[in-house]
Amino acid sequence: MAEIFDRRFYPEIGAGGFTRIDGTIPFYQRVNAVLKSSDILLDYGAGRGVGHIEDVCEYRRSLRSFRTKAARVIGVDVDEAVMLNPSLDEAHVFHPKDRLPLDDASIDVIVSDFTLEHIADPLQTASELDRVLKPGGWLCARTPNRHGYIALANRVVPKAMTMRVLNVVQPERKEEDVFPAMYQMNSFGRLLKLFPADRFEHFSYSFDSEPTYHANNKILYKSMQIVHYLTPPALRSLLMVFIKKRL
């Protein structure tokens, strides 16, 4: 239903199955650009692999798939559903307060797609990502901007009403894919403190994709397009995070 609705506003979706401002494509294109065939990739917050299982766009699925592009793909998550993720060579369940079940400096590329917003202890998480990442390795993450309208709205809506609101504005969203959001790692300033410039190079930017919270309502969708058009970069809804660990 969402794709059919998008076609009204982005007719180019008929040529390949994606819009000109699809956020998944530029994120994963850049991940593919830094990934080498000899690399070990860690999917941090891999979950059940919903993007590999349910995405109707073959091109997006191909960009997300790394098993034929990297030497090994490892997935970790706090949810046991990660053990069923079809996109991984190796999967682990871990507790957020514990060390990752990985050796020091064992990972070349870390991919974290819509996971950082759920982190309750950013210092612990940043420390562990730093520990397992090799010098010269990449942290690539897509996450809501703490200062964008999506994160602001989520913080305003009472927790007890979150699922009810999502059922209205994102009717296709499954309850099993909804997790509490903390937004503790979700600004450029915060990321710079967690991954300081003397040890990491930052190549991140903000981004607005097509509206995703619109309840399949034409007027609301058009209104959100206008909001996106008028939004300054600092307040765009997404952060595309690309951080390289210095040698």
At residue 67, the 3 state secondary structure works out as: coil
Q: What is the mean pLDDT of each run of 10 residues along the chain (247 residues)?
A: 66 92 96 98 96 93 97 97 97 95 98 96 97 98 91 66 47 56 94 98 93 69 75 90 98
- Phi then psi dihedrals of residue 107, to 5 deg: -120, 135
What pLDDT is attached to residue 157?
A: 60
Q: What is the pTM of this model?
A: 0.86
CATH of the domain at 25: 3.40.50.150
Q: Which domain holds residue 184?
A: 2-245
Contacts of 128 (CB under 8 A, 6+ apart): 99, 100
CA-to-CA distance for 6 and 212, rounded, in angstroms? 10
CA-to-CA distance for 146 and 117, rounded, in angstroms? 8
Tell me the one-letter amino acid at 212: T
At residue 140, the 3 state secondary structure works out as: strand
Tokens found for residue 162:
């979150």
Contacts of 171 (CB under 8 A, 6+ apart): 1, 215, 216
Count of the separate structural domains present in the chain: 1
